[in-house]
Structure formats: C-alpha cells, structure tokens
Amino acid sequence: MGSYKLICLSCNRTIVDNYTLSCPCGGGFVRTAYDARQLTVRDMPGMWKYYDWLPTKGFIDIPGKTVTYKSEALAKELGLRELYIAFNGYWPEIGAMIHTCSFKELEAPPTILRAMEHGGKAMVLASAGNTARAFAYLSTITGFPLIIVVPGKNLGNLWIPGREPGKSVHLIAMGEGNDYTDAINLAGRIASVPGLLPEGGAKNVARRDGMATVMLDGAVFMKTLPDEYFQAIGSGTGGVAAWEAALRLRDDGRFGQRLPRLHLAQNLPFAPMLHAWEEGRRDIMPERDMPEAKELISQMYTDILSNRNPPYSVKGGVYDAMKDTDGIMYGVTNEEAISAKKLFESLEGIDLLPASAVAVSALIQACDRGTISPDKKVLLNITGGGYERLKKDMKLNPVKPCIEVEGPDVPLDDILKVIE
C-alpha cells in the first residue's frame, strides 16, 4: 500500500524518494509511480481514502476530503444533464469537512507528513492566504514547525478554526507593497538555511498528489472519468494534478480511456497563462503577458489567483497538461465572477470563496458559447467554499506575526533570531 518511486519526466530515470523535489538532471517535474496500478478506496480518515495514490507511509487523522455530488439546480440553469460538483470546503450537511475552506487543505496534509517521514525539522512556505491557512492548521494539528511568509495585506486570510494556533507556527508578515512573489522570494532565502525544508510548490509530488484526490473523488463518484474539468487557477498546480490523476485513472482501466479536457480560468486583468496559451507559446514573456504585474494584481477580484511564476513551461507542467487534454483557458472579469458567485450560491445553497466563482463563471461562458454540449459529463472543481457557513459553527482564531519585515531582502539573521 502507498509504495511508490519517482520518475523524472525529462530523463525518465527512476528515483527513490528522499524528499526529492527535482531530478539531478535539472529537467522538469518528477512524478510518483505507485505500485498500485488500480485504485482501491480505503476505509481511512478523510482524504486518506485515496491512500494508495498518496506519497506517505502513514496518515493524519482529519476529516477533510473532497465531496462530489450531482448538481440539480445549477445544472438545470446551465442546461447540463450531468454536472458534478467536487466541493472542497466546509459544508457539514453533505459531509464536507475541510475546516480551512479550500483545497489547499488537500495539499498540506500529505506535504507535511511527507516532510516529517523524511526527517525534516521544519518547513518554509510562502502564501497569499489559503495555502498559509491550510499549512498553519496542519502544523497546529501535527506540531510540525512551520515558517510562513505572507504579504501583510493577506494576513486576514490566516486563522485557525476552532483552536488556538500552535506554537509550531511562525508567521512572517511583509510590509505594504509586497505581493505573493515577494513572499516566495523571501521564503526561498529562508529555506536555504540548513535543516529547513522548502515546501517546493508544484514541484512537490505530495502537493500535486494531494490535489489530485479531487479528480479521483469525482471519477469514483461518477464511476468514470469526466469529459470536462473546470477549475480556477493561479499557479495551475491543481490543473496539473487533475491531469495526472486522470492519467492514473486511465491506466487503472476501469474509468474510461479518454482524458478529461481541462478548462482552466484566470481572473482578469492578471492572466499570464491565458495570454501565453492563446498565442500558442510554451513560454511566458513577462513584459508581454504581465506588464505592470503588481498594478494588475491589485485590480483582481481575488489575488489568491495571482502568481507571477507559475509552473507553466516546465516539462510536466500546465502547458503540457493543456496540450495533452486539448484544454481551453478562460479569462474572467471581476463582474463576471461576482455574478457567478451570486448565481451559484442562490442555486446550490452554499457560499463560495471568490476563486471558485471564477471557475463557475468559466463554466457559464462555456455553456453560453456552446463549447460543451449538454450531454457531456462535467466536473466542476469548487476549490473553496463554506467560509460563511464555518463562521456560524466555529471561532476563527487569527495567527499573529512573530515579525514584520519591509521586503524580500531583509537580513536572514533578523528572521532566524525570532524563530529560534
């Protein structure tokens, strides 16, 4: 059970996992190759029902997992016969118990456990919000030390549901004018300190395989691979994970042989992957695809979807996932997202995080334009929701910074002093 090797997608070499984030060849992603070719759904807590295809020996006993259900009201509104919603958030009435309300809580558990199982002492990560919240929660539950770098304006996203933040959580807040990419740069510097593990982002197979459980859950519920998969992206890691899950399910043999088409949506006006993809380019050209990035990001409905350095060009990344599935990219304006949010909430009866509304809007666009026909099996990834619902049930305790810094070039000693 759960045993695997890593394969380098560039040179095809097989690597024994030693918390390996990349191959010595310096090529593209490494990917897990699990011994279990067919998926057995396990009677284990939360997302560990997909234990066979997660890169950990043990498990963490929390209830969070994707809950997939068949939509009636939104499906009818859009004229779809088979719309399935993969809900990632808090909605106890349907058994959805992701307490930090986004699918980042599918990345954090296997990532932290994998680091612990490989003897890591502490992990460093950068985040604009949902990732930080999920990892801080998991650090609180496991006691595994975590250093989180967050742009100051995103501090409000950082809370622990129903309990006090653990002493293992060390939060570094960055002053005004810093965005997510500045946080990534500072986190990268901190992670170079011996003993501190970088969380690795999309390169980390635990993050991708954790997110991949969304597609696994959809396919297990639908008893087949979907035809179409919709998701809002910032880094696109979730899209890559959905593709990788679909490749495994195709290999399993019982879920059909056609890969779902990826429909990935960015929030305008900041949409570097959309621009590169529309021009057929594997490379993002910063001056063309995201001029004045900080200004554009400040205009977004949700900067959770901003990432100036997404894993787009890398072998095994977003571009390859889109090519292999004949994917489509969408740009969604703030107004479109807001109206999609209202529509979804009134029809399905649960509140959405803003990013999820971007995916709903892409689905509306696809239906309006006739891009997908009414008989297609559609899987809509609701990447986050139930925050308003959660607030009724639980106290959300803010995580307080242990230091505030001006920018990514702050001397490392200043930071190490306070986290020791």
Ligand X SMILES: *Cc1c(COP(=O)(O)O)cnc(C)c1O
Q: Tell me whether residue 130 is annotated as binding.
A: yes
Q: Which does 23 bind (CB under 5 to 8 A by kind): Zn ion, ligand X, none?
A: Zn ion
Tokens encoding 234: 């910032």
**Nearby residues of 325 by Cβ (< 8 Å), 6 or more positions away:** 243, 246, 259, 260, 261, 262
Q: Using the structure block, give the residue that is written with the tokens 């001056």.
A: 287
Q: Going by DSSP bridges, is the β-strand pair 228-232/261-267 parallel, antiparallel, or unpaired?
A: parallel
CB contact at 8 A, 1 and 39: no
Give the interface segment with ligand X, choosing from 38-46, 69-77, 233-241, 338-346 (CB under 6 A): 233-241
* CA proximity to 305, closest of 234, 357, 232, 235: 234
The answer to the question of residue 233 lying near ligand X (CB under 6 A) is yes
Minimum distance, C-beta of residue 114 to Zn ion, in the bound complex (Å): 20
DSSP 374: T
Please, which residue, 399 or 405, has the CB nearer to ligand X?
399
The tokens for 28 are 């593209």
Instruction: Say which entry of ligand X, Zn ion, none residue 285 contacts (CB below 5 to 8 A, set by partner kind).
Output: none
Report in angstroms how near the CB of residue 295 gets to ligand X at its nearest.
Answer: 21
Q: Does 384 bind ligand X (CB under 6 A)?
A: yes
Stretch that binds ligand X, among 12-20, 28-36, 323-331, 349-357 (CB under 6 A): 349-357
Give the range of 67-75, 170-178, 236-244, 394-402 binding ligand X by CB under 6 A. 236-244
Site for ligand X contains 96 (CB under 6 A):
no
Of the two residues 361 and 405, which places its CB atom closer to ligand X in the complex? 361
Residue 281's CB: how many other CB atoms inside 10 A? 15
Kindly tell me which residue out of 2, 46, 226, 239 binds ligand X, with binding defined by CB under 6 A: 239
Binding ligand X by CB under 6 A: which of 102, 111, 306, 365? 102
2 is written with which tokens?
């759960």
Instruction: In angstroms, give the least distance from the CB of 104 to ligand X.
Output: 5
Contact residue for ligand X among 158, 214, 355, 362 (CB under 6 A): 355
Binding site for Zn ion (CB under 5 A): 8, 10-11, 23, 25, 27
The pattern of x and - marking residues 163 through 192 that bind ligand X according to CB under 6 A reads ------------------------------
238 binds ligand X (CB under 6 A): yes
Interacting stretch for ligand X, rule CB under 6 A, among 286-294, 328-336, 352-360, 369-377?
352-360
Taking every pair of Cα atoms in the chain, the longest distance, rounded to a whole number of angstroms, is 60
> Is-contact 24 238, C-beta < 8 A?
no
CA nearest 203: which of 24, 21, 53? 21
383 annotated ligand binder: yes
Beta bridge partners of 170: 147
Which residues make Cβ contacts (< 8 Å) with residue 241, sequence separation at least 6?
A: 207, 208, 209, 210, 211, 212, 214, 215
Min. distance of Cβ 146 from ligand X in angstroms? 17
C-beta of 180: minimal distance to ligand X in Å?
A: 11
Spatial distance between the Cα atoms of 49 and 116, rounded to a whole number of angstroms: 20
Q: If we measure between CA atoms, which residue out of 406, 324, 340, 417 comes closest to residue 152? A: 406
Site for ligand X in 124-163 (CB under 6 A): 130
Supply 317's token pair: 């990344």
The yes or no reply on residue 306 touching ligand X (CB under 6 A) is no
Q: Report the C-alpha gap between 143 and 148 in whole angstroms.
A: 14
Q: Catalog residues that contact ligand X under the rule CB under 6 A.
A: 102, 104, 130, 232-239, 304-305, 353, 355-356, 383-384
User: Which residues sit in the known binding site?
Assistant: 130, 383
User: Which residues sit in the known binding site for pyridoxal 5'-phosphate?
Assistant: 130, 383
